[in-house]
Structure 1
Amino acid sequence: MQLLLRKYISQVITEAIQPTKEQITAALELLTKIVKSSDKYRSHVFLVGGAVRDQVMGKEPKDLDIVIDLPKGGIEFAEYLAKYLNIFKQGSNPVVFPNFGTAKIDLRGVVYNNIDLTGVDIEAVVTRTEIYEPGSRKPQVGFGTINQDVMRRDLTINSLVKDLTTGKILDLTGKGLKDIRSGIIRTTSTPEVILTEDPLRILRAIRFASKYKYKIDNVLESIIKKKANELTNISFERIRDEFEKMLVNKNAAYALELLFNNNLMQYIIPELSQKKKDTITIAEKQKGNFDFIEMLTLIMHNLDVNIIKSNLKKLKLSNEEIKRITALANAIQVLKANSAKNVALKVGAFLNKNNVLKHIEVLYVIDSSLRNIIKSLKDFGKQPTIFFDGNELMQLFNLRPGVEIGKLISLQRELWFNDPNITKDKVIKFIKSQQRANNR
């Protein structure tokens, strides 16, 4: 059992590792070499998706997706590759998804040109057609040509393919390279058809436009506005994933602007729909290094906390994430109303208790004056010192168990918030003075 547990933990850790630029480059060189050496697969394997787009843009690819234009090519090539590299394991490497003709190869343990490729995955897919029945989000999948496979994709900038045998980049829509040069987001075919097949592509268009600061094609933008309400047919998990990618981007403010301009915010966080200017302005203040929790706090902090909670639940955030965001929102609302020293110390203790002190920078972006206030408090974030517990209070002040004990413990907290340097003697003196006043 312990051996199995260690193997599982090792696998989870490995899967969490993001491959480096050197690993991706080496893996692509190895893959190309294997394809060129194969009589069966030579001229039938193509690099697709983000890796090709990134190469054209002069960026480093972050993943390796390939298509094979042979019947059953995705699964059969994946098995061929795994066996060639001596990493084939029946049922686990490659991992096979037969309904979609897809397989994923884990290059763990493979070394090429002295570079360990652990952490690199290659996803192999058969070239296919997808036919959507009216009202259905699940397509009927069949084998197709490389041209048909390209035309089923959503955006022209994502439709480029690279022939691994010749090294040539193929622009089969005739628009992909031009749109990258011109900074245009356009669909591979008729926008109405592309967005009807999967309305989530509405948000994908917004995300890619904001990621690269591209302009959305006028025809596509008009169809996005027309079909915006079809987002109600999409699960909020999928919407949340796209929204998160938009917000953790350095161009998050532009993403929000596009969402507002295309009447899409009402399908994500409706209460922000009438707060376009404030939302975009506050998003412009961050430098692109905030995580999802911080960005949601940033754009929602002025909303009622119950409304914030409701939207976070709808977006399928975890209870822990909801707790952190509402804690931050509560903190900023309290401090904007009253930033006195004792109030700020209470907020610091509250943030620490809710494990969100690491997100403190978001408060400074919302209100820059808070930085100096908080930085001046060396005890910010500390829990108040409680000198006497219930038993000690009963002995010191001749008290019986009851509500009075709880009040005195709370009183000690208040005394500390007003003066973190307070001593035991001063606490005793204050409590005795309170008792005398109450007995008069």
Structure 2
Amino acid sequence: MNGLFSLKSLCSPPLPCARTMADSVHVKDKIDVTNEEEEIFQLLLNVLQHSNLDTQLRVAGGWVRDKLLGKDCHDMDIMVDNMLGREFCEKINEYLLHVGERTHRIVVIRSNPNQFKHLETAMMRLFGKWIDFVNLRSGTYVQNNLPTMKFGTAEEDAYLRDLTINSMFYNLNTNSVEDLTGRGVADLKSGVIVTPLPPKATFLDDPLRVLRAIRFSARFGFVLDEELKKAAADEEVKAALANKISRERIGHEIDLMVSGNRPNNAIGFICELQLFWVVFNLPQNSEPAVVEGCDRQCVAYMNAAWDVLRQIGFSIFSVPVAYNIFLNSLKLKAKDGATVINLHNTCKGFVSLIPFMTSSKDSIGVGTELEEENLSVSLPLRRRILTGLLLRQIKDFWRVALLMSTLLPINNDHTEEFLREHSKLEEKIDTFKRVENLIIELDLDHVWNIKPLLDGKAIKNVLQLKGPVRQLGKWTTRVLKWQLAHPNGTAEECIDWIKQS
């Protein structure tokens, strides 16, 4: 992203960091194998020799791509050309028994064409690394685009893969890279995301590949091929993604996107290709109703947040809607949805608190509340009390909540105001830094780890109360406020204050 956003650019959010076709990616001439990988490969070759197998073994896909880019890759898929992966794993255990080594458990994941899991996969842990073993694929298409499977050649398998940059093999028998589509290395160097076969057929083979294409484009800053973009926005492909792919698989793919290095680009592509409501789908008549254009607003918000994050070095959806998306649309964990709710609530608290924290003047109403609790303290200590209580709600995510609150407009119901507010990012960055520094100066950046001076039992003893006490929770909060106002106070001093109150 370049500098501050204009109103026009936010109405049609750009996809920053996109590579042009003229750009060139540095691709290595050969693959450098680590010592650990060499041990694994040598073991597999020893199995071939011991069992006298006429079998070609190939590492496939992402491992080859990342190695050619000079990156580490911890996922390893081994393709076997003339037997099932499970059968080859059994050969590995036979060899291990022969040489007096411990055998390993074989985990088999059956094929499920209805869920676009076309091949059976066997998994085995070798030298501390889980490795997938699967046979080469050949597809013969029948009704409903579901293929019947048989052993294929390496070339057939390569053309049936999702993207050309993921279609290359590293042949263990010949110690060489195989680019059987003739496009893998070239497209990697050009920085382009394209499918080996026509993109619509590739996507209908497994509609989740639409999201994988977006994820890799965002991750590497590569350009999406124009024909691929047309196919991704095709109504038949969108319907297949919405109706034939489990929400768990979609949620996992989105999780990988937002965990990557350019999450805003990924969501921007989803919006541009008209996939936003396919991915983040909601039940009919959801409450509250989602306003038109909030998909673009969401992308604009993420772009603005990303720009702030880059520069500092480090209406948003309503809570019920966001919670619904996490739990039902993406099938992520309930605790993730709870974290979203907590972030929204803390964000609202920050919006109210920031003017009080950044102003040299008192805030109407704040002093009255504390004075009613016998906490007549200075302005800095009032800030410490209120900020400390807020941070204890959100804990380690307080910077995320602060970032969200600095980007929010005064009124989330007005998109124009939202866009206008986001054009002042320098002011937002300054606010974020001022509040962050103030929190650190007040020694509150880990306030949730502070142990209370008095627990509930001690408070009841001081007040001479017996049995269940309805007001105990209120007194616990009051004691916490006193402790925040007196960071060096002792339990005895706190007890004296309670008695005076």
Match for 1:144 among 128, 145, 152? 152
> Residue in 2 aligned with 1:332?
347
> Residue in 1 aligned with 2:9?
none
Establish whether residue 84 from structure 1 lines up as the match of residue 95 from structure 2. Answer: yes
Establish whether residue 412 from structure 1 lines up as the match of residue 479 from structure 2. Answer: yes
Q: Is the 8 A contact 2:460 2:466 kept in 1?
A: no
Establish whether residue 52 from structure 1 lines up as the match of residue 64 from structure 2. Answer: yes
> Residue in 1 aligned with 2:123?
104
For residues 149 and 185 of structure 1, what CA distance do their matches in structure 2 show?
18
Match for 2:238 among 228, 243, 251? 228
For residues 281 and 253 of structure 1, what CA distance do their matches in structure 2 show?
9
> Residue in 1 aligned with 2:37?
24
Match for 1:313 among 327, 335, 338? 327
What one-letter code is carried by the residue in structure 1 that aligns with 2:323?
A: K
For residues 424 and 126 of structure 1, what CA distance do their matches in structure 2 show?
69
Q: How far is 1:236 from its partner?
A: 1.6
Match for 1:369 among 431, 434, 445? 434
What secondary structure sits across from 2:233 in the alignment? helix
What one-letter code is carried by the residue in structure 2 that aligns with 1:103?
A: A
Q: Is the 8 A contact 2:48 2:54 kept in 1?
A: yes
Q: How far is 1:38 from its partner?
A: 6.3
For residues 54 and 72 of structure 2, what CA distance do their matches in structure 1 show?
26
Q: How far is 1:383 from its partner?
A: 5.7
> Residue in 2 aligned with 1:122?
131
> Residue in 1 aligned with 2:384?
341
For residues 63 and 83 of structure 1, what CA distance do their matches in structure 2 show?
24
Q: How far is 1:37 from its partner?
A: 7.2
For residues 122 and 409 of structure 1, what CA distance do their matches in structure 2 show?
53
Establish whether residue 40 from structure 1 lines up as the match of residue 105 from structure 2. Answer: no
For residues 466 and 51 of structure 2, what CA distance do their matches in structure 1 show?
88
> Residue in 1 aligned with 2:304?
281
For residues 197 and 150 of structure 1, what CA distance do their matches in structure 2 show?
14
Q: How far is 1:427 from its partner?
A: 6.1
For residues 124 and 400 of structure 1, what CA distance do their matches in structure 2 show?
64
For residues 165 and 307 of structure 2, what CA distance do their matches in structure 1 show?
26
Q: Is the 8 A contact 2:57 2:171 kept in 1?
A: yes
Match for 1:259 among 253, 258, 270? 270
For normalisation by structure 1, the TM-score amounts to 0.75
> Residue in 1 aligned with 2:188?
180
Q: Is the 8 A contact 2:141 2:148 kept in 1?
A: yes
Write the deviation string for residues 373-428 of structure 1: whole angstroms up to 9, x where unpaired.
21122253336544774632543xx8997545555444434444555456678767
Q: How far is 1:218 from its partner?
A: 0.5
Q: How far is 1:310 from its partner?
A: 1.7
Q: Is the 8 A contact 1:155 1:188 kept in 2?
A: yes
> Residue in 2 aligned with 1:13?
none
What secondary structure sits across from 1:140 in the alignment? strand
> Residue in 2 aligned with 1:15?
none
Q: Is the 8 A contact 1:69 1:126 kept in 2?
A: yes
Q: Is the 8 A contact 1:384 1:417 kept in 2?
A: no
Q: How far is 1:317 from its partner?
A: 2.4
Q: How far is 1:155 from its partner?
A: 0.8
Q: Is the 8 A contact 2:347 2:402 kept in 1?
A: no
For residues 62 and 404 of structure 1, what CA distance do their matches in structure 2 show?
55
> Residue in 2 aligned with 1:268?
279
Q: Is the 8 A contact 1:132 1:197 kept in 2?
A: no
For residues 336 and 186 of structure 1, what CA distance do their matches in structure 2 show?
44
| Structure 1 unpaired stretches of 5+ | 1-19, 108-116, 295-299, 435-440
For normalisation by structure 2, the TM-score amounts to 0.67
> Residue in 1 aligned with 2:216?
208
Write the deviation string for residues 266-324 of structure 1: whole angstroms up to 9, x where unpaired.
2334665131222222134446xx9xxx9xxxxx9x43222222222122222333333
For residues 353 and 68 of structure 2, what CA distance do their matches in structure 1 show?
53
| Structure 2 unpaired stretches of 5+ | 1-32, 112-118, 282-289, 355-382, 405-431
> Residue in 2 aligned with 1:5?
none
> Residue in 1 aligned with 2:421?
none
Aligned length: 383
Q: Is the 8 A contact 1:48 1:161 kept in 2?
A: yes
For residues 285 and 133 of structure 1, what CA distance do their matches in structure 2 show?
51
What secondary structure sits across from 2:270 in the alignment? helix
Q: How far is 1:204 from its partner?
A: 0.4
For residues 491 and 102 of structure 2, what CA distance do their matches in structure 1 show?
69
Q: Is the 8 A contact 2:350 2:402 kept in 1?
A: no
Between stretches 30-39 and 194-203, larger displacement belongs to 30-39
For residues 36 and 213 of structure 2, what CA distance do their matches in structure 1 show?
29
For residues 61 and 408 of structure 1, what CA distance do their matches in structure 2 show?
54
Write the deviation string for residues 61-99 of structure 1: whole angstroms up to 9, x where unpaired.
4233222221x343332222232233575xx63334565
By relative contact order (CA 8 Å, sep 6+), the higher-ranking structure is: 2
Q: Is the 8 A contact 1:394 1:400 kept in 2?
A: no
Query: Identity of aligned pairs, percent?
Result: 26
Establish whether residue 160 from structure 1 lines up as the match of residue 160 from structure 2. Answer: no
Two-structure CA RMSD over aligned residues (Å): 3.4
Between stretches 79-88 and 195-204, larger displacement belongs to 79-88
For residues 361 and 273 of structure 1, what CA distance do their matches in structure 2 show?
24
> Residue in 2 aligned with 1:67?
79
For residues 428 and 124 of structure 1, what CA distance do their matches in structure 2 show?
67
